[in-house]
Structure formats: C-alpha cells, structure tokens
Amino acid sequence: MAVSAASEAKLREAMARLLAGEPLHTDGALTKENLAREAKVSHATVHRAEDILAEWDAKVARPVLRTPGEVARDETIAELRRQLRETKGQVTEVHGKLDALATVAANLYHENIALKKKLGSSRRLASIPVQK
C-alpha cells in the first residue's frame, strides 16, 4: 500500500536528517519509531511506505540505539569513573598512612611524658649552647 506524496517527502527528509545525525524531533537513534517521530507521521504510515522502508533497511543494517554524541558522553563518563576509582584508592592509601603517623605521634608523646615522669621534677635538663 502506498502513502501520499507529502508523507513520502516527510519520511525521506526525516531519513536524511537521521542518517546525517541531525535530528530535529528525536534523540537521533536510528530506529523506525524515530523515523516516524522525525517525519511526524504515524508508525502505521511508515510501515505502509514499503519503498522507504526497504531503503531504510538497506542503509540501517541494525538499529543504532545511541547517537555518536551519546557514545562520546558514555565514554567520558566511563573515563571519569575510572579516574574517580583511582583517586579514591589514593585517598584511602593516604588516610591509612595518616592514621599510622598519628599512632606513632601519640606513642612518642606518651613515651615523652613517661620519660619526664621518670626523670622527676627535681631534675632539670640543661640546654647546650649551639656553636656557630
């Protein structure tokens, strides 16, 4: 069954826009549903336009569900997530080192206090002048 000349023209223009990656009314995914939406015709009209469907099937072997922009965005997100994982690992490592250093500092402080008590308050420490 054929479609009107106006519908055929709309479908051809919509197909050209979708294949060029310049959609006006859809997300750009190469699907028959988007072809109908882009042309602003019904889904049934697309399926009645057998010549256009054959041309569509020849140009689009399998539907591409993501546009090049979406692919680039997803790759960027994946890279940023990888960087975030690495950074979180580095932060965890630094926190571990910081905890270890805090423990050492606390032990040294307590040892210092214990040594001062052992020496007693009557005993004074003399400072040695530094020679220049």
- Domains in the chain: boundaries: 5-59, 68-117
* 83-125 pLDDT per residue, tens: 999 999 999 999 999 999 999 999 999 999 998 888 876 566 6
* 16-59 pLDDT per residue, tens: 999 898 899 888 888 889 999 999 999 999 999 999 989 988 88
SS3 sequence, 30-65?
ECHHHHHHHHCCCHHHHHHCHHHHHHHHHHCCCCEC
Q: Tell me, what's the pLDDT at 71?
A: 79
67 in Cβ contact with 27 (< 8 Å)? yes
- pLDDT-derived band at 9 (thresholds 50, 70, 90) equals very high
pTM of the model: 0.48
